[in-house]
Amino acid sequence: MANIKTAKFTLTDMEDSRSLGDRLQDRWITVKDFGAVGDGTADDTAEIQAAFDYAFGTFADPNADADSDLNKVVFFPRGRYKISAPLVINAARSPILLGAGSHQSRIFWDPEGDPVESDNMEGGFYPVIEFLGCYHVTMEGLTFDASEVQSHVIHCGESPVQADDGHDGHYRDIHLTGAANIGGAGFGIVFSGDAMGSERFWTKCRFTNCAVSAYFINHGNALNHWFFGCYFADSAKGIEQVGQGGSITLDCCRFANNTTFDIKTQAGAVLAQGCSSTSQHFANTQGMVIACTHENVSAGLFLTDTGTDVATTMLLGNRSTNGTIMTIAPGDTRNGLHLMGNDFQLSTYADALLAAVPDRELMVDGVRLSP
């Protein structure tokens, strides 16, 4: 009987052949190699965790920085993978998770099971997956579904074996969906801890149905989160940042049916350009908002400030058909408000803003207005 490892195969239009044994040494695995079924019925928790442990090291003995060259790419073939406990990747550098597409590869909580709480979060939450102290995370083509459990979808936090909770990540075609429809309490993705949480790139991703915030940043140094062509919908808040400052960039993103605000920051600056919203209220933030639209809602707020100590805010070339442009709380410490080339369909907005911000700099279409 022939040894399958020595069998040769040749790809189309290639002259050289490889042995299957050599092919199996490539640094990628699939969760089905470890017994995951992906039929939506079998519990695949242990099998997926076994694949993660093989690819990135165990929780107690992670590959971490010193052994990051041992990591392997983990692939989820097309399927629906049911879990009953949080999946955990600890202290991995450059972990890569790939699926066949967010509409094809789905990881979801068992809707009829008794979910196991996370050992790494307070408050009794059940994230689908946790990245603890992980650097340079890459994910593409996956859905993480917590729609049947009152929980966060993804938790990024501190590792017990690594000094901080990681930074850098690139995510493409990822869908996070929560449990707002059943009264669940949780976030789409939550970054927690007292250290780094910077440099996250999201491209063509979707964040939906989250009871608190679809994207929640609570870091001591939450710098630079970029979103390109992403979709935030059916949540209380689309993006929320609390704690110390950072920066959020939104390019051509879409917001719909978020009940509190699409964007809310406590101290960080936002650059939003080419975005659209059909939620009740668009932004509670500081920074620059350029060429954005906010339509199809009556008496909504395009921009509001509730007394946060913020710096100069600029609104350039925006359009809103809603009833209110901005509200500013008494005692606001805004340093400056500049508006140019906006179409807010409310002819008295300049007078209203001027009355609301006495003794502040107010620029409308390049002209400074005085109280």
pLDDT at 320: 82
Low-confidence stretches of the chain (pLDDT < 50) are: 1, 4, 182-183, 195, 306-307, 309-310, 329-333, 347-348, 350-352, 354-356, 368-371
Alpha-carbon distance of 344 to 135, in angstroms, equals 43
Instruction: Return the half-sphere exposure (C-beta side, CA atoms, 13 A cut-off) of residue 9.
Output: 9
pLDDT at 114: 72
pLDDT at 362: 58
pLDDT at 370: 43
Instruction: Return the half-sphere exposure (C-beta side, CA atoms, 13 A cut-off) of residue 291.
Output: 6
User: Distances in Å between the alpha carbon of 75 and those of 59, 202, 339?
Assistant: 20, 19, 48
CATH domain 18-211 topology: Pectate Lyase C-like (2.160.20)
Are the C-beta atoms of residues 196 and 167 closer than 8 Å to each other? Answer: yes
pLDDT at 317: 87
pLDDT at 361: 56
Are the C-beta atoms of residues 74 and 34 closer than 8 Å to each other? Answer: no
List the beta bridge partners of residue 201.
Answer: 170, 226
Residues with Cβ within 8 Å of residue 235, at least 6 apart in sequence:
178, 180, 188, 207, 208, 209, 210, 211, 212, 213, 214, 258, 259
Which residue, chain included where needed, has tokens 């052994």?
67
DSSP for 313-330 reads EEEES-EE-SSEEEEE-T
pLDDT at 323: 59
